[in-house]
Amino acid sequence: MTKWIIGILLIIIAVAGLWWGGLLDTIIPGGGGPAAVQQATSTPQQGQQPVSDLPTASNDASDNALMQDSAAIDAQMSALVTDSNTIDSSLNDKPTAQEF
């Protein structure tokens, strides 16, 4: 009788362990435990809408808005040139010769 109880307990612990580790999800979809849930939250959701980066409203296509948007884009383009130059200089970086 004791062996049966121990056996059942071991099975319960094993199933609980699989659930906790999220492995159960591979057998039963939706049956994943906390680990599976955590993993899922770290993956960005498909279809996620990017936040607007333009200074004007997304539905504002007026001449004035286009002018402001263009200026903001040009500022970023200019900053990208700087970014690119810093990559070049970091790839060509040489350490100062030391005494030893």
Partner 1 sequence: MTNSKIMRVISGTALAFTVLAPTLVLAAATGIDAALNTGVNTQTQAQTGGGNTGASVNAGASVQLSAAVTKRAKEKATKEIDRRIAALTDLNTRVGQMTKVSAELKQNLVLNTQNQITTLNNLKTQITNETDGAALKTQVQSITTDYRVYALVLPQTRIAAAADREATLINMLAEIGSKLQARLTAAQQAGANVSAYAQPLSDMGTRLGSAQTHAQAALTGAAQLTPDGGDAAKIKANTDALKKANAEIKAAQQDLIAARKAADTIIKGLKTLQAGASATTSTQVR
- CB 22, min distance to partner 1, A: 17
Residue 28 DSSP class: S
Least Cβ distance, residue 90 to partner 1 (angstroms): 4
Sign of the torsion formed by the C-alpha atoms of 73, 78, 81 and 83:
negative
- Supply φ then ψ for residue 39, to 5 degrees: -65, -40
Q: Which amino acid is at 25?
A: D
Nearer to partner 1 by Cβ, of 29 and 63: the residue is 63
* Residues of this chain that bind partner 1 (CB under 8 A): 42-50, 52-54, 58, 60-61, 63, 65-66, 69-70, 72-74, 76-77, 79-81, 83-84, 86-88, 90-91, 93, 95-100
Nearer to partner 1, 29 or 95 (CB): 95
Q: Which two tokens stand for residue 77?
A: 């383009």
Q: What's the min distance (Å) between Cβ of 35 and partner 1?
A: 15
3 state SS of 16: helix
- Smallest distance, Å, CB 96 to partner 1? 4
- State which amino acid sits at residue 12: I
